[in-house]
Amino acid sequence: MGSLVVQPRSRLFHGHEWVYATDVKIRSGDPEPGDVVTLKDVRGRPLGSAIFNPKSQIIARRFSFRRQDLDAEFFVRRIERAWKLRQRLGIDTTLCRVVWSESDGVPGLIVDRYGDHVVIQTLTLAMSLREDLIVEAIKQVFSPQTITARNEVAVRRAEGMDCEKKMLHGSQPAPFSLQTAGMTFQIDVWDGQKTGLYLDQIDNYSSVARWAKGKRVIDCFCNQGGFAQACAQAGAASVLGVDSSESALASAAVNSSSLNIDWKAANVFDYLKEAESKNETSDLIVLDPPSFTRTKGSVNDALRGYKEIHLRAMKMLPPGGILATFSCSHHISTGDFYTMIGDAAVDARRKLRLIDTYRQRADHPIILGMPETEYLRGYAFEIVGGW
């Protein structure tokens, strides 16, 4: 088995599980890309087992403090352990992220469950090479009807892999609907966004909807309209969902056929600009944009984009109005996000009071010491009237 000697003061010694190429002092044993390697400190003391890929800047990702192979038994054990955690969390496990990469000790493997159907992503070479073992383990634990791989994710390129989607078990399922917390969602494991749904937001719909009774609500970047549905059910006076994806809106309309919600296919930047110029107002605006940045380098551009939509949304909210806003990029820190919102508030001449905070659902667990695992931040602010 190959091994890497890790430089002192590497992030591995500070609670992180990644080894960057620059953290490696000595590489020995000639490991192949995708192999398991042993990590050691400069005194030769073992630091555990990691997956290795010299094509990536993150040359190794530790998955065990012991000497451990990635065999069939390993995957069954890790998946069962992750599944037991989800069952303890008190969330609806019918729609659920069962395995979330580093947070479940399987770096680069994502397993989402939509009832009898499972969707996986293999984002590291080591996981991709062991796809067969992973499929067998999932069959053993869940006996699903189908397993789909949705590997159309750019991060695979950093590992020297292509994007792809394919059936790994069963035949391609037709889109179907699932219910959770009284809401309905269309699950298209083949063509839906991400692996089918934004699972990380599910619990936040009802939290935001607490503010919705009697209010005029706009759900910006609504996708399948989770916030819109929950707000309509909570007794909103009117609800509008805006998204640029026609197919997401088509699903949203099916989900909410018994509710009174308007849907608009538009770029939210254009929509807000126009609404603001017409002096339109709203009582509750949800902003849940996609990640505007995938890299550290473009954080400033992303913050400019965030600020623009925040500024416009705030101008549409009278005193007492509520802004529920989310950022789903770990590159945007809490401090960056707050500062941006504060700057937008100053420009919009609004005073904001924080009334609630939100985060990714608990099936996307945060690992202390790995800031990348904490990526979804959300806040509800009330516009304070003159005092």
Work out how close the CB of 266 gets to ligand SAH at its nearest, in angstroms, rounded to a whole number: 6
What is each CA distance from 333 to 127, 224, 337, in whole angstroms? 29, 27, 6
Work out how close the CB of 174 gets to ligand SAH at its nearest, in angstroms, rounded to a whole number: 21
Structure token pair of residue 152: 């159309």
- Measured from the CB atom, is 259 or 370 closer to ligand SAH? 259
End-to-end CA distance of the chain: 69
What is each CA distance from 384 to 194, 323, 334, in whole angstroms? 37, 11, 22
3-state secondary structure at position 165: strand
- Measured from the CB atom, is 148 or 201 closer to ligand SAH? 201
- Measured from the CB atom, is 39 or 91 closer to ligand SAH? 91
Closest CA to 132 of 168, 79, 82, 172: 168
Closest CA to 105 of 155, 50, 52: 50
Work out how close the CB of 306 gets to ligand SAH at its nearest, in angstroms, rounded to a whole number: 12
- Measured from the CB atom, is 208 or 367 closer to ligand SAH? 208
Residue 287 CA to residue 221 CA, distance in Å, equals 7
The length of the chain is: 387
- Measured from the CB atom, is 224 or 373 closer to ligand SAH? 224
What is each CA distance from 323 to 12, 57, 70, 99, 319, in whole angstroms? 39, 39, 46, 32, 11
Interface with ligand SAH by CB under 6 A: which residues?
A: 193, 198, 201, 221-224, 226, 243-245, 248, 267-269, 288-290
Work out how close the CB of 183 gets to ligand SAH at its nearest, in angstroms, rounded to a whole number: 11
Work out how close the CB of 29 gets to ligand SAH at its nearest, in angstroms, rounded to a whole number: 44
At a CB cut-off of 8 Å and minimum separation 6, what does 123 contact?
Answer: 101, 108, 109, 110, 151, 153, 155, 156, 159
Of 96, 220, 222, 328, the active-site residue reads 328
Residue 65 CA to residue 5 CA, distance in Å, equals 15
Work out how close the CB of 260 gets to ligand SAH at its nearest, in angstroms, rounded to a whole number: 19
Residue 341 CA to residue 324 CA, distance in Å, equals 11
Residue 202 CA to residue 206 CA, distance in Å, equals 8
CA 217 to chain centre: 24
Are 199 and 112 within 8 A, CB to CB?
Answer: yes
- Measured from the CB atom, is 64 or 245 closer to ligand SAH? 245
- Measured from the CB atom, is 138 or 199 closer to ligand SAH? 199
Annotated catalytic residue 231? no
Work out how close the CB of 268 gets to ligand SAH at its nearest, in angstroms, rounded to a whole number: 4
DSSP code of residue 289: P
**Residues annotated as catalytic (active site), given as ranges:** 328
